[in-house]
Structure 1
Amino acid sequence: MKTLTLLRHAKSGWDDPVARDFDRPLNPKGQRAAAMVGRHMKALGLAFDHVVASPATRVAETLDHVRQGYGDDLAPVWDQRIYLASTATLLDVVHDLPVGAEHVLLAGHNPGLEELVLLLVPDGAALRDEVEIKFPTATLAEMTFETAAWDGVKAGKGTLTRFVRPRDLDPSLGPDTP
């Protein structure tokens, strides 16, 4: 069995005067949400034997704040393909994961992450409706697959075992709060 956990980057700062979208940093709310998600990951006992992430600033900062709450270095492999990737590209990234990795964290962006969950998890599955409504920033989605190899991850074959939004952990991290 393979376990794939997706993490959308935390809320970024649109007010920051950066020249490129790639360089946009987190805002203070995003920093708090990422640390809270990290603490929750630790409380759940989540462990990863491989982490792959977009090299965008907001993803790198998200992982840094998650690490602060999680208490362990996630040591990501940076993969440029994940930056604003389509679902097809993200699925290629998944299929290219190391054979020996059983529990993988993939950190990136929407709409790709949300669309990947909707592709991999069949209609009517538990929690899928929540993903369809919205996959907010700093949200975790965990899926399991009955396969021995990552290239066995196919459309409609995943089980969504966890969908955790920052507002589920702390209502002040929900929409329309500073």
Structure 2
Amino acid sequence: MRLLLLRHAKSDWGDPSLEDIDRPLNSRGKAAASRMARYLKEHALLPNQVLCSTSLRTRETLARVLTSLPQEARIHLLSDLYLQSEDDYLSLIRKYGGRSQNLMVIAHNPATEETALSLAGTGDPMAIADLKEKYPTAALAVIDFDIADWSELQPGTGHLERFVKPRDLKDDLG
């Protein structure tokens, strides 16, 4: 089974009257989310189920991802993904993941980074070092597991297959 942990793209801080949960993506964030969506499609990293925070910036990131999916995906908007700890993300993945082969979580830091670090027991040393250094906006960790159901998810049992940041991608994905 494969877990795709996507941090929301860069949000707009221009309107101080907005609550944190209501901040939209800024222009750079929109471009990065679209770039990551193209990457997901180009590399066949296509979720069949998505758990997404209810914040505006995560939902706007999700909207860009959905444009690249050639298939239907089941979507759960979960307020519990908004500003929760890594333990809460694990419990939400266990609860809602079911038998989904490719599960995507679109959420926030530091919980997204902590979840990735908690789950990745093995992987390319360079990718792990990169992940430990910083988990920027719109970054994606791809972690593979040898489990039959997400309820079996345990820390340290995943293999970090790759860690991708939007700034590392060419516009043409070539």
Offset, 1:73: 6.2
Looking at secondary structure, tell me which structure has more strand per residue. Answer: 2
**RMSD over equivalenced CA pairs, Å:** 1.9
Which residue is 1:176 aligned to?
none
Whether the 8 Å CA contact 1:11–1:29 is kept in 2: the answer is: yes
Offset, 1:94: 1.1
Structure 1 window deviating more from structure 2 (53-62 vs 92-101): it is 92-101
| Amino acid of the structure 2 residue aligned with 1:149 | D
Structure 1 window deviating more from structure 2 (117-126 vs 86-95): it is 117-126
Question: What is the rounded CA distance, in whole Å, between the counterparts of 1:141 and 1:147 in structure 2?
Answer: 18
Question: What is the rounded CA distance, in whole Å, between the counterparts of 2:16 and 2:69 in structure 1?
Answer: 30
Whether the 8 Å CA contact 1:39–1:69 is kept in 2: the answer is: yes
Go from structure 1 to structure 2 and tell me whether the alpha carbon gap of 1:123 and 1:143 turns closer, same or farther (over 3 Å shift).
closer
Question: What is the rounded CA distance, in whole Å, between the counterparts of 2:78 and 2:160 in structure 1?
Answer: 24
Which residue is 1:138 aligned to?
138
Aligned residues: 170
Offset, 1:123: 6.8
Deviations 1:34-71 (A, max 9, x none): 00110111100122221110010000111112233556
| Amino acid of the structure 2 residue aligned with 1:144 | D
The equivalences for 1:22-37 within 5 A come to: 22-37=21-36
Secondary structure at the aligned position of 2:121 is classed as coil
Structure 1 window deviating more from structure 2 (31-40 vs 74-83): it is 74-83
Whether the 8 Å CA contact 1:18–1:24 is kept in 2: the answer is: no
Q: Can you give the 5+ residue segments of structure 2 that lack an aligned partner in the other structure? A: none
Secondary structure at the aligned position of 2:67 is classed as helix
Residue 94, structure 1, aligned to residue 88, structure 2: no
Secondary structure at the aligned position of 2:16 is classed as coil
Whether the 8 Å CA contact 1:22–1:56 is kept in 2: the answer is: yes
Question: What is the rounded CA distance, in whole Å, between the counterparts of 1:16 and 1:100 in structure 2?
Answer: 41
| Amino acid of the structure 2 residue aligned with 1:28 | S
Offset, 1:122: 2.5
Offset, 1:121: 1.2
Secondary structure at the aligned position of 1:32 is classed as helix
Whether the 8 Å CA contact 1:5–1:105 is kept in 2: the answer is: yes
Go from structure 1 to structure 2 and tell me whether the alpha carbon gap of 1:99 and 1:124 turns closer, same or farther (over 3 Å shift).
closer
Go from structure 1 to structure 2 and tell me whether the alpha carbon gap of 1:67 and 1:123 turns closer, same or farther (over 3 Å shift).
closer
